[in-house]
Amino acid sequence: MAVGVFDSGIGGLTVLDAITRRLPDLPLVYLGDNAHAPYGVRTHEDIFNLTCAAVERLWDEGCDLVILACNTASAAALKRMQETWLPADKRVLGVFVPMIEALTERQWGDNSPPREVAVKHVALFATPATVASRAFQRELAFRAIGVDVEAQPCGGVVDAIEQGDEILAEALVRSHVEALKRRMPHPEAAVLGCTHYPLMEGAFQEALGPGVKVFSQANLVAESLADYLRRRPEMLGSGTGSKFLTTGDPKTVSSKATQFLRRRIVFEAA
């Protein structure tokens, strides 16, 4: 009954941690494609091929349902995977929709026409590939009208987090927020469109100011998954154990992940 959680690196561990708190009895198999990280500077074709290979590896672990806990993969690969590649008995879900549902105050599965919402000016902080895909704006347009989105590609932040350099990551966050505010001086809400960024949520909030509501994904994705499994229990796969897999060096990734989550994480070679 395992569910797969995929990310290009260790950022998706924020989502896994939230799912573990929400569904403590659910076995989870995490796969980090650390050998090819970061995805945010790759082409869409490259991201698609790498994501498909990772999802197939999680199917091998008995995970019929896989969460792309990676905004770049969700933005650049998910739609194409669902339309052209995915077998009928498998499901791959992304991380954008739960965020947009929270932002637009819609319930899961609300397919009514797009409507006016309270928030009119939204700042999106994401990787360059996610920003270039415009996937967030496309999904938002299905649900809301009249929302101005200003997107800021946050080069370097993921690398700094993966390297454990918190001082550099915070400095980059401040720089990216300043760049966005030159184009949108008064955002009402900010979306952290990368699963690494919850670790920097405090830095984003401080730079944006107390009047900006910051939306972070991990808990929203966990709640959405719990709702999905209530409605679709047949999507629980045959896997029975939790494990952490990486395409990179397990010892190095284990050390970074332990520092990242502040609890011991042991990765195995994928």
Residues of the binding site: 7-8, 39-40, 71-72, 195-196
Which residues sit in the known binding site for substrate? 7-8, 39-40, 71-72, 195-196
Strand duo 121-126 + 189-193: pairing: parallel
- CA 248 – CA 109 distance, rounded (Å): 37
The answer to whether residue 194 is catalytic is yes
63 is annotated as an active-site residue: no
Q: What amino acid is encoded at 38 in this protein?
A: P
**DSSP annotation string for 203-253:** HHHHHH-TTSEEE-SHHHHHHHHHHHHHH-GGG--S----EEEESS-HHHH
DSSP 8-state secondary structure symbol assigned to residue 269: E
Selected catalytic residue, list 52, 63, 70, 154: 70
Q: How crowded is residue 78: how many other Cβ atoms within 10 Å of its Cβ?
A: 23
CA atoms within 13 A on the CB side of 169: 19
- Contact criterion met (CB below 8 Å) for 20 and 29: no
The span from the CA of 260 to the CA of 263, in Å, is 8
Coil, strand or helix: which one is 154? coil
Catalytic residue among 52, 63, 154, 194: 194
Please state the φ and ψ torsions of residue 192, each to the nearest 5 degrees.
Answer: -90, 95
Active site residues: 70, 194
